[in-house]
Amino acid sequence: MSRISPALAAGLGPFLLGLALAAASHPTIAALVGSGAASRPLPVSRLAELALHHLTLAAAGLAVVSILGVGLGLFATRTRFASFRGSIDTVVAFAQAVPPVVVVALALPVLGFGGPPTLLALLAYGIMPTLRGTVGALDSVSNEARESAQAIGLTPGQILAYVELPLAAKGLVETLRTALILAVSVTAVGALAGASTLGTPIVAGLQNQNIAAMLQGALATAALAFLGDGLLLAIGGWVQGNRQRTAD
Amino acid sequence: MIPRLLAGLSAATLLPAVLLLLPLLHVAPNRLVTGVPVAATDALEAWLWPTVALAAIGLGLLAVGRGKAAAGIAGLACLGALALLLAGLGAGAAELIAGKPLATRARLASGAWIGITVLIGALSLAAQRARLPVGVTSAAAVVGLLTFLWNAGSLDALSLAVELRGRSDTLATAIRDHLVLALGALALAACLTGGLALWRRGRGAVELTVSGLQIVPAVALLGGLVAALSTLLAAAPSLRGYGLSALGSTPALTGVAAFLLLPLWRGQQAARRAACPGHLDAARALGLTRRQILATIRLPLGAPLLVDGMRVAAVQALGLATLGALVGAGGLGTLVFDGMAQFAPDLILLGALPIIVLSLATEAALDGLEAALRRRWPR
């Protein structure tokens, strides 16, 4: 037990903060704050429905972003594709110059209202940081480790599975954390394109002065981000702990 | 040899395929509907084959060729193809809307956008291979080309130009507001990080808070700030006298600045650690004063890292300032959100393109400054 706790403790702070924020988004608490005339707090059922939509959309985007981003990152770090490495940073810089709101807006006339433009924005905005993070994490693996693995006769696939990935695990978890936070954030922006997410009460609240609902949406979105972050941190700590135990 | 030829061939066929298979223009009865797609043969007519040929030469040469001369020729071919493509699209659009009602719009379609992006990308790659400063060369080439075509009136019939003519005043105000908001937030965040750096014992707490803020989604932070401010103002209305308001620049500045704290803080801490204790001990042993150490060791080692943090923060500020329009702070986001509300693609583009251009220019400028600092003070 004493061995598990330090690993899980890594994610405990964000997780508890997330729970507190989620509790604060409960209608009875939010109603205390926004007591204006137009304030109508959302019932829990509506909030839960929005959170579920938000989670589904963000999880779908995150899954595609991690598979493509990490996958492309693995390709880019193979020696065969070394010539592509230089262009990655240029493309990353360009992709980051287009803020997610703008991607959502530009996708709107092409893909229509709702989920699709949000997902596109998630992909457009998430893949390049994930790719660069993966490349960075794999670059942090020392050449000595790779060469000694080669020297004892491991195949490239085995080197990747037993040497590179375990050694890069910490960086990879960091990359996935960034991707997760981006996914939750961009999904909230998707409310502007009519996707039904936790951003919806914020955007609608700004338009019709519904302060309580706006606050609920803001707190619940932030709660989702912190809960996800805490979860990934705990997973990262657990992976790290496992590795140390096998190494001992 | 054969793989290289294959790469050259596939690069050469890329753009002709895009231009011939995807629609280049959309002709619509007004600015709000998408309209019917127009293929290359009708959109470019006589301009098509010269454009396609030049693009194929440029991209093919870029994939096959080695050396500065080949890169230079490839770059010129790409620039020529871009000029022909834009001029051809302008002429095609003028012909397509001639004799139609005034509200008719000819809008650039997917093929045209991909073509333009690929050609500009190829141009930068060619500049890089030719050992020219990439950002300056390609920006000068594209801006020069656009200015020339604009003054010649070749682009007048494209819907983006029509939209721009109708809203040039709004656009100018929006760009100004956007820059004021982004720079204001950057200044606010820089002052705050500078102040926080003086609080030596609280470094851990600051690091935790600042990275925690980064986790909060931007829309949520802005919404939360508006809610908190309006509650505060409802409780203490006298605060309005100090210029505080629930909507507008107060929440926008605070919200954007909150996200800039992390890159600025990271840059500052990296700059602080740039001088290793050994260097500092040696300097002290030589009898240098604190001020001399700052000027001769800490600043030269730290300045590039500080500028790096500033670059990340500045690009983020320009992007986040778009969301300022959501809380009524103006800026280019106003055009984007108006365009979304009206479902008018040209208006969205009119707001979005300046944001992208401003971000790229800022990125390139601060990148250049960082490189110049590293050259000035080589490690």
Distance set, CA A122 to CA A69, A91, A217, A243, B354 (Å)? 12, 16, 20, 32, 21
Q: Amino acid identity, residue B230?
A: S
A208 in contact with B, Cβ within 8 Å: no
Query: Can you give the pLDDT at residue A2?
Result: 46
CB B105 within 8 A of CB B346: yes
- B221 reaches A (C-beta below 8 A): yes
Which of chain B's residues have a Cβ under 8 Å away from the Cβ of A206? Answer: 223, 226, 247, 326-327
Contacts with B342 from chain A: Cβ below 8 Å: none
Class of domain A9-32+44-247: mainly alpha
Measured between alpha carbons, how far is B237 from B230 in angstroms, rounded to an integer?
Answer: 10
Alpha-carbon distance B358 to nearest alpha carbon in chain A (angstroms): 8
Contact map slice: B 167-186 vs A, CB within 8 A: none
Are the beta carbons of B215 and A222 separated by less than 8 Å? yes
Q: Where are the domains of chain B?
A: 2-163, 168-376
* Side-chain-side CA neighbours of residue A138 (13 Å): 22
Structure tokens at B251: 């929440």
pLDDT score recorded for residue B327: 87
Q: Dump the DSSP string for B23-50.
A: --EEEESSTTS--EEE-HHHHTGGGHHH
Taking only the tens place, the pLDDT of each residue in A67-82 is: 988 888 888 887 766 6
CB of B220 within 8 Å of a chain A CB? The answer is: yes
What does the pLDDT read at residue B373? 86
Average pLDDT (B275-286) is 84
Contact (CB<8Å) A218/B351: no
**Which residue on chain B is closest to A35 by alpha carbon?**
B231
B224 touches chain A (CB under 8 A): yes
Interface list for A 76-115 with B (CB within 8 A) = 87, 90, 93-94, 96-102, 105-106, 108-110
The pLDDT assigned to A34 comes to 57
Angle ∠(B345,B346,B348) on CA atoms, nearest 5: 65
Chain A residue with CA closest to B214: the answer is A181
Which stretch of B124-133, B139-148, B364-373 has the lowest confidence by average pLDDT? B124-133
For A99, the closest of B224, B231, B319 (CB atoms) is B319
Q: Of B340, B351, B352, which has the smallest distance from its Cβ to A192's Cβ?
A: B340
pLDDT at A1: 43
User: Cα distance from A202 to chain B (closest Cα, Å)?
Assistant: 6
Q: Test B327 with A206 for CB contact under 8 angstroms.
A: yes
Share of chain B above pLDDT 90, in %: 12
Q: Phi/psi class of residue B299: alpha, beta or left (left: φ > 0; alpha: ψ in -120 to 50)?
A: alpha
B356 vs A98, A202, A217: nearest CB = A98
Which residue stretches of B199-285 are H helix?
A: 203-215, 218-235, 249-274, 277-285
Across the strands, what pairs with B27?
B36, B106
In this prediction, does ipTM exceed 0.95? Answer: no
Give the pLDDT score at A155: 84
- Are A222 and B359 in contact (CB < 8 Å)? no
Asked if pLDDT for residue B292 goes beyond 70, the answer is yes
Q: What is the mean pLDDT of residues B254-261?
A: 91
Residue B254 tokens read as: 């605070």
Q: What average pLDDT does this structure show over B239-252? A: 79
Nearest alpha-carbon partner for B258 in B193, B323, B199, B180: B193
CB pairs A-B closer than 8 Å: 147
Within the 74-103 window of chain B, which residues sit less than 8 Å (CB to CB) from chain A?
A: none
Q: Which residue has the higher pLDDT, A63 or B288?
A: A63
Task: Sort out which chain B residues have CB atoms less than 8 A from A214's CB and list them.
Answer: 223-224, 226-227
pLDDT in tens, B299-314: 888 888 889 889 989 9
pLDDT for res B272:
82
Nearest CA in chain A to B332: A102
Kindly state the tokens that stand for A3. Answer: 């061995």
Q: Is 50 exceeded by the pLDDT of residue B181?
A: yes
Contact A98 B327 (CB under 8 A): no
Is A225 part of the contact surface with chain B (CB cutoff 8 Å)?
A: yes
Arithmetic mean of pLDDT, B60-68: 81
Cβ distance of A185 and B218 shorter than 8 Å: yes
Q: Are A139 and A77 in contact, with CB atoms under 8 Å apart? A: yes
In angstroms, the separation between the Cα of residue B17 and the nearest Cα of chain A is 21
- Given a contact cutoff of 8 angstroms between Cβ atoms, the answer to whether B357 and B143 are in contact is no
Q: Spell out which residues of chain B touch residue A222, defining contact as CB-CB under 8 Å.
A: 215-217, 220-221, 224
Q: Where are the domains of chain A?
A: 9-32+44-247
CATH level 3 topology of B168-376: MetI-like fold (1.10.3720)
Q: What is the mean pLDDT of residues B110-133?
A: 85
- Rounded Cα gap, residues A245 and A235, in angstroms: 15
- Which CA distances in Å does B139 have to A43, A161, B5, B118, B127? 53, 44, 30, 15, 11
CA distance B138 to A24: 51
Amino acid residing at B280: L
State mean pLDDT over B59-79. 84
pLDDT at B11 over 60: yes
**C-alpha closest to that of B167 among B36, B358, B362, B353:** B353
Region label for B300, one of left (φ > 0), alpha (ψ between -120 and 50) or beta (otherwise): alpha
Q: Are B140 and B330 in contact (CB under 8 A)?
A: no
* Residue B1 in this model has a pLDDT that exceeds 70: no
The per-residue b/e assignment along B228-266, b for 16 or more CB within 10 angstroms, e otherwise, is: bbbbebeeeeeeeeeeebbbbbbbbbbbbbbbbbbbbbb
Q: Which residues of chain A have pLDDT under 70?
A: 1-8, 33-38, 80-87, 89, 243-248
First to last CA, chain A: 17
